[in-house]
A and B are shown apart, each in its own frame.
Chain A
Amino acid sequence: MTDQLAARTAVPSCHSDAGGRSAAPGAPVVALAGSPNVGKSTLFNALTGARRQMGNWPGTSVEVGRGSWALGDARVPEVALIDLPGAYSLDPASPDEELTRDLLIGAPPDERPDLVIVTVDAAHLARSLYLVAQVREHALRVVVALTMADIAARRGIHVDAHALGAHLGAPAVDVDPRHRSGRASLGEVVAETLHQPVPVPRPLPEMDLGADMGADLDALDADLALADSRFAWVDEAVRAASRTEATGRSTWSDRIDAVVTSRLWGPLVFLGAMWLVFQVTTTVAAPLQDALDTLFTGPVSEGARRLLGLVGLGGTPVEGFVVNGLIAGVGMLLTFAPLMALMFLLLALLEDSGYLARAAVVTDRLMRSIGLPGRAFLPLVVGFGCNVPAISATRTLPNARHRIMTALLVPLTSCSARLTVYVLMATTFFPRQAGTVVFLMYVLSIALVILLGLALRATLWRRVGDEPLILDLPPYQRPHLRLMADQTWVRLRTFLQTAGGIIVATVTIVWLLQATPAGPGHGSFGDVPAEDSAYAATAMAVAPVFEPAGFGEWRTSSALVVGFVAKEAVISSWAQTFAVSEPSSSDQPGRLGELVRADFERSSGGHGAVAAVAFMVFLLAYTPCVATVATQRREIGLRWTLFGIAVQLAMAWTLAVLVFQVGRVFW
């Protein structure tokens, strides 16, 4: 029976971020359930020794984690532990809760887990016990793990685990997963309970289908009545097992809330926080990125060349492949590492401290107009620095539809890599209004985010954004350094693993095309002029597509193809195909600018400036880079990623053609 459950849970757990060893076949299956934010994932990690990400934010466990838990009991040496997504109840309000419900009670009884541990927050006893009430209505062995006793005690709430267990009809154990205590006693109780027969389900109250209501009592009313009876049962358990000394939580927390969510200060504090995030992800990360880039293009490439030269492979295609394919690809991936690490650290800090929930309150109304909850603001702001960490930041959205929608909008936020191209184009074509032109590109970027958001809302997700804001504000806490470091490392590792393949593969393919002659007599592999390579042939084949937009020249279309790999490479691609050295400073377009200008004038039939604008619009709207695509694939899946690319290309082309065709009439 357990194998069937294991097989069912194997599908949603395909992301290997749990990192735990799986249990031996035939080991009892224990499911870990609980409301979001009660320390469930922390407990999972403490029990299995795995490093599953966790945070002070509802909905961190969006996938099912699995691991093996050694109970140290002679009869039950180990169990397979499944970390279910957080759920307040078994009435699914989100895909996460639906999964929890399916795995617990959706399956036939012989495929259900052998035991369910429900984590219960001692500081919010009444709220956490609703799930216990529902689980107890089914034939399942239940053990209650009582967490957050320290936070509860600080608020004057004391819970008697023994009395609570007696009332619930399921043993309750005090655990403190953050300090890894209570593991042994939880293990003993679980081993013991596994040897008990499955308890009799808690009887449901008899619905009063009296003569006066009878037929009128529809399913909804019955549901509400049932919920009321569960709440009554919960209230009784709370009264029986807990005692409260003082009322409410500390007032300093309320004072902070009164400021950071207030009408006047809330947005200011929020903008300040976003400014800091933006600064860190751009100005602080940039030198680190540059340093890594210099390291890979300089010493590492040089060392590899020398090494290959020693073994007699210098100047061969092997050298080209290793230096311009592999090292360039891995180098590009690694230049993102410090940026991503900083971003993940900031996310952990914002989540863990409790501020992210407050920020969501402040931006809720603004974001709701495009069908997104307030917390979607953060990824969009980060996107203006770099889209890659921005898409990773969408994981703070508990709702899957919101995550997908935000991840589809992020590529339209104009990242700093695109800025370098805007500056070259603007200073070349509009030397006097360059600043204004660049500024307008950012305005257009925001407009496109809003427009695509509205379009998606009107077509794919009509019901998104109508949900009211009901947000539990987690208590402020000092971030745990170890937890933050753990979380940052897990996320960074997963990013490098999943994005690495795509980035290295794409860079290698582009290099292969550049190294391959387009036909006989065009040179040999690895030694071919730019315009005779298979790459140029591909670009020439693509070029006519851009004719209606005024930039159907092969050098420009090849720059756009390279731009798909990374926008940083657009200018260097031009430099390469025009065979001039790259401008040392993008403020001085110099010779490259003149050549690009001449190219645009030719391809647009004398409307070079209009074509330049169309080109910038295309550059803004089409797929930012392979690293973004790789991250999207990880966060929202291949299908939505491909959909996103299709939308971006269609939108970019249409806008560019529109700009050129309309623009050349007037200019």
Chain B
Amino acid sequence: MPSLEDRVPLGSAPLRAPARVVEVVAAAAPRRRLAELGLRPGAVVQARSRTSGGGRVVAVDGSRIALDRATVSGLIVELADAELADVELTDVEGSAR
């Protein structure tokens, strides 16, 4: 059972690391739209690239969804333990830049 610390907003998750959505924090209408696109609790997602507005292109269910910064930080995901090290690495890289 992953501990609470394993939960991160998808925006902080490393690129290309598979993650499972555990919670979607958004207003009702966008949450519904996200669910329709497959972004709902239980879905396995992957942030594929950063977009110019600070958002992410997210891979889910074979499609690519572009999300803005606010939406991507409302997608709370759970990373497998192995990826946690990457999260820390990314943070270090991020602050060094």
Asked whether A and B interact, the reply is: yes
Considering the chains assembled together, what is the distance between the CA atoms of A123 and B63 in angstroms? 8
Q: Chain B 48-68 against A: per-residue CB contact (8 Å), 1 yes, 0 no?
A: 111111110101011111111
Asked if A261 and B66 make an inter-chain contact with CB atoms under 8 angstroms apart, the answer reads: yes
Give every chain A residue within 8 A of B51 (Cβ-Cβ): 261-263, 266, 361-362
Interface core residue of B26, B37, B40, B51 (most chain A CB under 10 Å): B51
In whole angstroms, what is the CA distance A469 to B68 when docked? Answer: 5
Interface of A, secondary structure class, is: helix
CB-based contact B50/A262 at 8 Å: yes
Please determine whether A261 and B65 come into contact, CB atoms closer than 8 angstroms: no
Distance, CA A401 to CA B32, complexed state (A): 21
Is the Cβ of B33 less than 8 Å from the Cβ of A362? no
Complex contact A468–B26 (CB within 8 A): yes
Interface: B80 (CB within 8 A): no
Min Cβ gap B66→A in Å is 4
* Contact present for A470 and B28 (CB under 8 Å): no
Cβ of B35 within 8 Å of any chain A Cβ, yes or no, is yes
Contact assessment for B36 and A89 in the assembled complex, using a CB-CB cutoff below 8 Å: yes
Beyond A155-B62, A257-B57, A469-B71, whether A266 also contacts B52 by CB under 8 A is yes
Residues on the B chain within 8 Å of A365, using CB: 52-54, 68
Q: Assess whether B36 is in contact with A130, with CB atoms less than 8 Å apart.
A: yes
Residues of A within 8 A of B50 (CB): 262-263
From the candidates A89, A223, A473, name the one contacting B57 in the complex (CB within 8 A).
A473
Q: Does A200 contact B (CB under 8 A)?
A: no
* Residues in A neighbouring B68, C-beta threshold 8 A: 364-365, 468-469
Residues of A351-409 whose CB lies within 8 A of B: 357-358, 360-362, 364-365
* A223–B32 CA distance with the chains assembled, in angstroms: 10
Which single member of B36, B53, B62 contacts A248 (CB below 8 Å)?
B62
The answer to whether B36 touches A127, judged by C-beta atoms less than 8 angstroms apart, is: yes
Size category, B interface: 20 to 34
Contact in complex: A93, B32 (CB < 8 Å): yes
Q: 1/0 contact trace for A468-506 toward B, CB 8 Å? A: 111111000000000000000000000000000000000
A124-B63 in contact (CB<8A): yes
Please provide the chain A residues from 116 to 155 with a CB less than 8 Å away from any CB of chain B in the complex: 123-124, 126-127, 130, 155
Chain B contact residues: over half helix, strand or loop, or mixed?
A: mixed
Is A470 touching B35 in the complex (CB atoms < 8 A)? no
For A, the interface residue count at a CB cutoff of 8 angstroms equals: 42
CB–CB A468/B63 < 8 A: no
Instruction: Report if A267 contacts B (CB, 8 A).
Output: yes
Query: Does A258 have its Cβ within 8 Å of any Cβ on chain B?
Result: yes
**Interface residue A249 (Cβ < 8 Å from any Cβ of B):** yes
User: Complex Cα distance A361/B68, Å?
Assistant: 8
**B contact residues around A258 at 8 Å (CB):** 48-49, 57
Min distance, Cβ B59 to any Cβ of chain A, angstroms: 6
- Chain B residues lying within 8 Å of A263, measured Cβ to Cβ, are 50-52, 54
Nearest-CB residue, chain A, relative to B64:
A473
Contact of A88 among B36, B46, B53, B54 (CB under 8 A): B36
CB<8 Å pairs between A and B, sample of 20:
A124-B62, A127-B63, A248-B62, A254-B64, A257-B48, A257-B49, A257-B57, A258-B48, A266-B52, A361-B57, A365-B53, A365-B68, A468-B71, A469-B53, A469-B71, A470-B37, A470-B66, A471-B66, A472-B65, A473-B64
Name B residues whose Cβ lies closer than 8 Å to a Cβ of A: 26, 28-30, 32-38, 40, 46, 48-55, 57, 59, 61-68, 70-71
**Known contacts A263-B51, A468-B71, A470-B66, then 18 further A-B pairs from the complex at CB < 8 Å, ordered by chain A residue:** A88-B37, A124-B61, A124-B63, A126-B38, A126-B61, A127-B36, A227-B35, A249-B64, A258-B48, A258-B57, A261-B52, A266-B51, A361-B53, A361-B66, A362-B51, A470-B71, A473-B63, A473-B65
